[in-house]
Amino acid sequence: MIQKTKIYCINFNDSDRRTKMSNRFQFIGLTPHFTEPVYDTDPRIAAVPLAQYPHIVPRTSAIMLQHLDSMTHFLETTDSEYEYCLICEDDVMISRQFLTEYETVMEKWDSLGIDVLLLGCLQFFRLYVGAAWYDHLCDSSDGNFQFFRHPDHLWGSQMYVVSRKHAEYLTRTYTVEYAQNHPELPHNPDWVITKMGRRAMVYPMLAMEEGDTKIGDDSQRNFHRTVFQENYDETRYM
């Protein structure tokens, strides 16, 4: 499956993070494409209505546009042999066995009938079958991973995969014009990209955030640290 997947990383002029992510992917034999930053001078930023959601700031909207730009690049520069677009943020640790685990979890793509699969998110407790709000869909063939339909309140798009067809739908539908006509929908990948269509998440996660955030108040930073403390395994993630 990895041969059919194009990998993108969201980075905004942070050379330290870019180097770190390049090294992590290089360790497992992969090379991500770093999507061009979206600056505050980009006319799309000013065109998106943000006032209804004080927590959605131009920076968040710029990140949303980088996610969509990644999919656009995927669609315009690859052919149909690339069936999947994988997008990750620039502050995630990756499983040391990512290649093997990715092949294992992607075996279930067709049978699950999904459009988007979360490989890493802000899952704030060790997830288990039977957890409230999380519909258990199935297990991987080796029994090491569980698939859930994740609830609306789950946050984070640290790493996810979309199909080529769904990338076409997302880039065609969730344009700046759509945001202008639907101000009730926050211009944020966590609300749009990972929530629209048929969705699932895998646990244990193949990628997880380092445990901090550049934006937000103390409560947000504490939440990110909690996610890290609950899920980090030094023998598994690098």
- pLDDT of 51 higher than 60: no
Check whether 54 has a pLDDT greater than 70: no
CA distance 9 to 1: 18
- Tokens 């980075």 belong to which residue? 11
Structural domain boundaries of the chain? 2-231
The fold adopted by the segment(s) 2-231 is Spore Coat Polysaccharide Biosynthesis Protein SpsA; Chain A (3.90.550)
Joined together, the tokens standing for residue 212 give 């901090």
- Closest to 24 in 3D by CA, of 187, 209, 194: 209
Per-residue pLDDT tens digits for 127-163: 999 999 999 999 999 999 999 999 999 989 999 999 9
Q: Is the predicted pLDDT of residue 212 greater than 80, yes or no?
A: no
- In this prediction, residue 106 has a pLDDT band, given cuts at 50, 70 and 90, of very high
Angle at 228 between CA 105 and CA 6, to 5 degrees: 40
